[in-house]
Amino acid sequence: MRIVIALGGNALLKRGEPMTADVQRANIRKAALALARVAHDHEIVVAHGNGPQVGLLALQAAAYKDVAPYPLDILGAESVGMIGYLVEQELVNALPAGTRCATLLTQIEVAADDSAFARPTKPIGPVYQVEEAQRARAAHDWPMVEEAPGKWRRVVASPLPKRIIQIETIKLLVDAGVIVICAGGGGIPVIRTASGSLQGVEAVIDKDRAAGLLAENLEADAFLMLTDVEAVYDGWGTSMQKPIQRARPQDLAGMSFAAGSMGPKIEAACAFANQGGIAGIGRLEDARAILEGRAGTLIRTS
């Protein structure tokens, strides 16, 4: 089977953990072992999140006063290169000698008139306490959102992905038996100018929507979104919550899921399933079990 796997940012960096290189490498090493168990029998393509990392780079860039802060698309490329390097290295270490891997910085085209640019909703960066959030907002003019009581994060525009610029290159690599790490952080968002050239924009594409587009373009058999939650829950956060083991897209259509977390995953999963594939959501360490229907949530039309 050809499987596109999207690694959630919180699967690579747990909430509250310091964003040190050692912590991230240790977490990615665990992720690589889980991916290797799937790659033993299947063809995998790996995407990943970058929310905490790109937020940290934005803070570091803003702290350096001698030059103007770097735009978010360039910071996104920096973070994707860093994470991709670690994922590729640990994956090669976890797989048999001779396994071929490649990390590809991936540009994804969005619409310049996407309504998301007028209403930033995508959280990036670290979690702030109230006073820290107020200082960050005043210093950098960042929109902020309260994700949980007293927990604030910066939000940026999250336009929908339209086209993966390097999709033909990705296909060549995958068809040649290379494990490709691509569409990191949802891809680097670009628009097409009136002259036809590409131009980066200040935005972050949702990684699950981007990975879903990647899975569709590659005609994958399965699409896994791996995070730190064991399954999709009906009534999440209430006394009546219960895990959903299997579902059809139409079963989920009338249900409510958090817009900043599970919502995009459900949308991406249902879109892929409606194209005839199998979509799975669950914990990183359960990757193979999710694929085999022994853990997590499986979404398919039948």
Q: What is the CA radius of gyration of the chain?
A: 19
Tell me the CB-side half-sphere exposure of residue 20, using CA atoms within 13 A: 5
Whether 14 sits among the annotated catalytic residues: the reply is no
Q: One of 8, 10, 84, 125 is an active-site residue; which one? A: 10
**Residue 50 falls in the annotated catalytic set:** no
Q: Are 291 and 224 in contact (CB under 8 A)?
A: yes
- Assess whether 10 carries a catalytic annotation: yes
Helices and strands in the chain: count of H runs, count of E runs = 10, 17
Candidates 125, 185, 265, 282; catalytic one: 265
Q: Are 120 and 72 spatial neighbours (Cβ–Cβ below 8 Å)? A: no
Mind spelling out the 3-state secondary structure of 67-78? CCCCCHHHHHHH
Catalytic residue among 9, 51, 76, 277: 9
Catalytic residue among 49, 76, 122, 184: 122
Burial of 195 (0-12, 13-18, 19+ CB in 10 A): exposed
CA neighbours within 13 Å on the CB side: how many for 145? 14
Active site residue 242: no
Which residue is catalytic, options 50, 207, 212, 296? 207
Check if 122 is active-site.
yes
Task: Identify whether the C-beta of residue 149 lies closer than 8 Å to the C-beta of residue 124.
Answer: no
- Residues taking part in catalysis: 9-10, 122, 207, 265
